[in-house]
Amino acid sequence: MNRVKGKTCIVTGAALGIGRACAERLAEEGGAVALFDLHDAEGEALAAALRAKGARARYWHVDVSNEARVKAAIDEAAAEFGGVHVLVNNAGISGSTKLTHEITEQEWDQVQAVNVKGVLFCAKHAIPHMKAAGGGSIINLSSIYGLVGAPDVPAYHASKGAVRLMSKTDALCYAADRIRVNSVHPGYIWTPMVEHHLQASGATDIAAARKAVGELHPLGHMGEVDDIAWGVVYLASDESKFVTGAELAIDGGYTAR
Ligand code: NAD
């Protein structure tokens, strides 16, 4: 309880999956949570459920690839909750599964617009508020595929590699402002994104595909959304006050080989 009390926490992609768990755990730990997403019904319902439990929470419809909308929503969240202290750049898409010799420019750009420019825009417009607050924590969701290669979805992997080094660059650029920036690298976590990815990859028996993908991890199974959310809470809280520019792999040992 209260690990992020007094902090305004913006979570992008907060309606479903990992982002939803991050919003729930940050709210339980005393944070005021600003939920950004495109799924309005789920986002509004989550904000209402968090308020019913006594948290401060509000949902904003924000496409993170739209800079003007990002800026407006961050400024509104800062005004409503009193500054911005934590940004969880979680919104992301897996996008086209096409290989490099097949993918179109439009398909490539669609992934980079959300996964890379979305991270840029949210950080860009949160940082002035964090400077004004005397510091902050930015947590960028990369992937195991921001750390190691894999023979598929090149647009997604490129985007997650970019997020990893954007995190380190910003960690160095804003350390003097007491803004910490770290990346989180999940292994496979069972969410709508992964279910969609398995279907798009041609899997017909989803339960069997889920088990097979889980066995790629030394611990023998996929992770759960809270496995990531608790890492995010740690990086959001002052428990990690000496941690910046770090890569937190939460991956059942996938990248330890
Ligand atoms: P998900 O698809 O289940 O949920 C993503 C959320 O982001 C959805 O609510 C969606 O509406 C929202 N979103 C998508 N595009 C958006 C946009 N333009 N603006 C605002 N919101 C948008 O995904 P997830 O599995 O929970 O993944 C969350 C993050 O974790 C992503 O960045 C993903 O790349 C990363 N990740 C996931 C896994 C995994 O196995 N699930 C592994 C590694 C990294």
Confidence of residue 251 (pLDDT cuts 50, 70, 90): very high
Tell me: ipTM over 0.95.
Answer: yes
**163 Cβ inside 6 Å of ligand 1:** no
Q: At residue 200, does pLDDT exceed 90?
A: no
pLDDT digits (tens, 9 = 90+) for 163-174: 999 999 999 999
**223 Cβ inside 6 Å of ligand 1:** no
E strand spans, the chain: 8-12, 32-37, 57-61, 86-89, 136-141, 179-186, 247-250
Give the active site residue among 156, 174, 188, 254. Answer: 156
E strand spans, 144-234: 179-186
pLDDT digits (tens, 9 = 90+) for 108-127: 999 999 999 999 999 999 99
Which domains are seen in the chain, by residue range?
8-189+224-256 (3.40.50.720)
Q: What percent of the chain has pLDDT over 70?
A: 100
How far apart are the CA of 244 and the centre of ligand 1, in A? 23
Per-residue model confidence (pLDDT) at position 201: 84
How far apart are the CA of 100 and the centre of ligand 1, in A? 22
How far apart are the CA of 90 and the centre of ligand 1, in A? 6
Active site residue 234: no
Using alpha carbons, select from 181, 91, 103 the residue that is nearest to residue 135: 181
pLDDT digits (tens, 9 = 90+) for 204-248: 999 999 999 999 999 999 999 999 999 999 999 999 999 999 999
pLDDT digits (tens, 9 = 90+) for 18-71: 999 999 999 999 999 999 999 999 999 999 999 999 999 999 999 999 999 999
**77 Cβ inside 6 Å of ligand 1:** no
Per-residue model confidence (pLDDT) at position 181: 99
**17 Cβ inside 6 Å of ligand 1:** yes
- Chain centroid, CA 65 distance in Å: 14
Question: What is the best residue among 16, 18, 167 to mutate for testing ligand 1's pocket, by most ligand atoms within 8 Å of CB?
Answer: 18
Question: What is the best residue among 25, 46, 193, 213 to mutate for testing ligand 1's pocket, by most ligand atoms within 8 Å of CB?
Answer: 193
**92 Cβ inside 6 Å of ligand 1:** yes
**21 Cβ inside 6 Å of ligand 1:** no
Per-residue model confidence (pLDDT) at position 55: 98
Here the tokens at position 152 are 């598929």
- Which residue, by CA, sits nearest to atom 6 of ligand 1? 13
Q: Is 183 helix (H, G, I), strand (E, B) or coil?
A: strand
pLDDT digits (tens, 9 = 90+) for 131-151: 999 999 999 999 999 999 999
Strand partners, 58: 34
Amino acid identity, residue 235? Answer: L
Here the tokens at position 249 are 């792999």
Ligand 1: nearest atom to the Cα of 64: 19
**114 Cβ inside 6 Å of ligand 1:** yes
How far apart are the CA of 176 and the centre of ligand 1, in A? 31
